[in-house]
Amino acid sequence: MSTWQALDERFVWHPYTQHGIAPRATPIVRGEGAYLVDADGNRLLDAISSWWVNLHGHAHPEIADAIAQQARSLEQVIFAGFTHEPAARLAAELVEVLPDGLERIFFSDDGSTAVEVAIKIAIQSWRNRGERRTLIAALDNAYHGDTFGAMSASAPSVFTEAFGDHLFQVARLPDPIEGDPLDALDRLIETRGGELAAVIVEPLLLAAGGMRMYGEDVLRGIRERTRAAGIPLIADEVATGFGRTGPMFACDRAGVAPDLVCMSKGVTGGFLPLGVTAATAELFETFRSPDRALTFFHGHSFTGNPLACAAARTSLRLLLDPACAKARVAIEAAHEDGLARVASHPMVTRPRLLGTIAAFDLEAGEGYLAPVGRELAAFARGEGVLLRPLGNVVYLIPPYCVTPDEIGGVYGVIERFLETR
């Protein structure tokens, strides 16, 4: 073990890690396309895009160059009262690719803050119009992040249990896979419509809640009902944005234009943290006034960081290259083949696919703490593949530079693991 690994063990507190039993963290020294390289020179295929952030491959030279070039001219500037070209151009470029009507871009730091910002905009927008509306509706099995507002919108889980007393009350709509959120939303609007500040959803995919995929008709139904009732719809595209489900956004698959869209993860190609909340002009106008009290009093030290914006602009350009769309189609086809292979195993249930995201369940315990996921992760690690199942839910979210053969290889590793059971 090199000295710096000993320092990690002695001084670092890792996220989502039970230090009492976790295996030693794998030391990564380099990234190269779809691969990570560890301290011994072993290559690890990153089948989950390092927590779903990487789009075009690790250490992509064009994004790296864009960041380096930006760092030499302007690394950071206060974003209140000041601006810079990377942020202004990125905002315009995002508006160009976002669903219709989303015309204002608010920057923050990560997915959780993008969600906090959307919820705060929705609530304050009502207040600015002289109405007191504070109720948020969200789906069961949703996950929106780890800060308090985002945890409140998330479904109660082992992640939020310790903080339950401090979370705000949310009107919970059924997970579309288990119940009828449209009927529940109809009843909610009928009984408490005047209290509803916003409805927040992860469009088409309840991601961290178990890679649960639901139909476009449900998303359209939620949009129709919220629009008719004049209630803002927040689409949390943190996991689904930037091509993961095929088109640029999951909302595009359903032809839905929300009032607020939360983005992060892939926005910078996975190079730097950046949160983005897009809002309609209509919502923005409820804040624009000569009255300072109506200001959106929210911002972070690094809001609009020029390096992150430069990375995001380059990533977006790569994403808009037709070759990237072709690569995503090829990934989907490779998933189809792979899923068909593993689906024949008796332990595998509910194989499912949404663009470049594939998932299935293992009949071996249930929920995030089911050990089978960690066992598969350890097995795959030994075979040169990075997987991180959500308990008994196995998923692949690869970077777009992965080849169909490499995806086939990941399913091969999963098949070999299943043979050991």
CA 221 distance to own-chain centroid: 22
Residues 16-55 that bind ligand PMP (CB under 6 A): none
Q: Is position 145 an interface residue for ligand PMP (rule: CB under 6 A)?
A: yes
3-state secondary structure at position 287: coil
Q: Is position 112 an interface residue for ligand PMP (rule: CB under 6 A)?
A: yes
Alpha-carbon torsion, ordered 411, 412, 414, 416, to 10 deg: 170
Rounded to the nearest whole angstrom, what is the least distance from the CB of residue 111 to ligand PMP in the complex?
A: 2
* Contact yes or no for 240/204 (Cβ under 8 A): yes
**Identified catalytic residue from 259, 265, 361, 395:** 265
Nearer to ligand PMP, 123 or 397 (CB): 397
- Of 116, 140, 202, 332, the residue at the interface with ligand PMP (CB under 6 A) is 202
Please give the Cα distance from 247 to 270 (Å, whole number). 18
368 is catalytic: no
- Of 63, 67, 115, 155, the residue at the interface with ligand PMP (CB under 6 A) is 115
> How many residues contact ligand PMP, by CB under 6 A?
14
Q: Is position 264 an interface residue for ligand PMP (rule: CB under 6 A)?
A: yes
16 is catalytic: yes
183 is catalytic: no
3-state secondary structure at position 239: coil
Q: Is position 356 an interface residue for ligand PMP (rule: CB under 6 A)?
A: no
**Residue of 132, 104, 101 lying closest to 118 (CA atoms):** 104
Residues 204-263 that bind ligand PMP (CB under 6 A): 207-208, 236, 238-239
Residue 33 is given by DSSP the state B
**Identified catalytic residue from 16, 183, 321, 337:** 16
Q: Please state, as a whole number, how many other Cβ atoms lie within 10 Å of the Cβ of residue 349.
A: 12
The position carrying tokens 């911002």 is 299
**Residue of 246, 230, 233 lying closest to 353 (CA atoms):** 246
Q: What are phi and psi of 134, to 5 degrees?
A: -130, -5
Alpha-carbon torsion, ordered 195, 98, 292, 227, to 10 deg: -20
Q: Is position 144 an interface residue for ligand PMP (rule: CB under 6 A)?
A: yes
Nearer to ligand PMP, 98 or 189 (CB): 98
Three-point CA angle 139, 143, 148, nearest 5°: 105
Binding mask 62-101 for ligand PMP (x = CB under 6 A): ----------------------------------------
Rounded to the nearest whole angstrom, what is the least distance from the CB of residue 223 to ligand PMP in the complex?
A: 18
> Which residues of the chain form contacts with ligand PMP (CB under 6 A)?
110-112, 115, 143-145, 202, 207-208, 236, 238-239, 264
Catalytic center residues = 16, 143, 236, 265
